Amino acid sequence: MTSQGPRGPRRGTPIEAALRRLAARKYGSILEVIEEAITLPAEPTGLVLTPLIDATAVLQDWAVSDRAHALLELITEGIADPQVVSPAQWRRRHVLHAAFRLPDEDVEEEWGASLTDRFKQLGKLQIFAEVTSTQPMEMSWKRGVERLAHHLEGRLGELRTPDDWAPYRPVQPTNVKPIGRADFRRPSEGAQKLCINLFVLTVIMNGRTESRRITERLITSQDENGLEYFTARAFSSKESLQGRTYVPTHALWGCRAERADEGGHTVTRLYFPRPLRSGEKAHFVSEVVYDANQGDALGWHNVDIDHYGIEAGELRDGLLPVGGLTIRIKFESDDLPAAVWWYAELNEQERYVEPPPGNPRRLDIVCGDVVKTFEDPCQPRESYGLAYRWATDDRNHEKRPAGPSGTVPQVS
């Protein structure tokens, strides 16, 4: 029986040896190496990878490529596990990505052939800025592979039937919604690689100030390399400030939140329990809470489409949103706006133009609630939302114009 220390199994366990062999291979992708081991179990590579390969023996009806893909998915899932790489251990995460040649958002070039070459590539990253050798990468690799081996030992013991392995099987291409399909225009180059099936935004007001925003999403990955997270952008702008103030997004269900910098702007990344294969879905819920110093009198609530689009809206029994984009606002009974309307694919100036009475874009306020489900698909590179106008004769509130000089929280 293998002895274990506080960090998991000691170096030299069969599973750790298999992982080290995968990382040490200079030629061929990880998938190709695993397929080789499955096809030729008596060869040197197959013998070393036996602890991993034997666990897939119950998948005799699967194609070799599917078995290899499932093992790689299991390894990728392990790297994302907080017990293997905690949110604060960025070095270890990068090192494990390099070891198994997994996509890394901070490394643009193709991974080098040898493990040392890949570790040298990490030396260009800011977190390794003061490093003059690969020794720090080697130390992170030692700890990371030990913990990953320990994690996989437990997971492989749990995967005993084809049904247990089913979530790791590649999704058939017929389930993928391709880019450029008839009801979606082509997204921008930097768009998040996903489609949204259901997006429900609920805004709760405190007087004339936004207090909370709860967002429920059901998405479908379009990333062939595995979709690790959804980027949420929430901010509050104030009349006395130039630019935008970052507001953190909190994870409520089906994800975990991490603060990150993208292009000089602070965002929140909502990580999934494991990377999503192309065509695979995820359901998750997040919340933004505004404190007394972050709120202002709001003029609209906006949803930016920075991904591949949102499906057409669908209501069950005419009430329950089950598809598409729905925006709901809960006003307080003592602070109801004089008018509320919806907009789609308009610039910022056009959003403030109040539709005349009788226009179908005007919305009714019922018991302090306003709701709009957008019937048509929401297109990439566009904005959708609800706007409203406060009564101008109310002397109990400071008058603040809605629009660019006021505030607008963005949602994506």
Distance CA 69, CA 190 (A): 27
- CB-based contact 369:331 (threshold 8 Å): yes
pLDDT at 112: 85
- State the DSSP code for 272: E
Q: What is the pLDDT of residue 114?
A: 87
**CB distance 319 to 348 below 8 Å:** no
Work out the angle at residue 391's Cα, subtended by the Cα atoms of residues 387 and 394, and round it to the nearest 5 degrees.
Answer: 140
pLDDT at 323: 93
Write down the pLDDT at residue 237: 57
Residue 284 · residue 197 · CB < 8 Å: no
Eight-state DSSP code of residue 278:
T
Counting as low any pLDDT under 70, the low residues of the chain are: 1-12, 126, 128-131, 171-182, 237-244, 292-298, 393-412
- Write out pLDDT tens, residues 117-148: 888 888 777 676 666 788 878 888 899 899 99
- Residue 235 pLDDT: 75
Q: How many CA atoms lie within 13 A of 154 on its CB side?
A: 12
* pLDDT at residue 241, rounded to an integer: 35
pLDDT at position 32 is 85
Q: What pLDDT shows up at residue 257?
A: 94
Per domain, the residue ranges of the chain are 7-170, 194-411
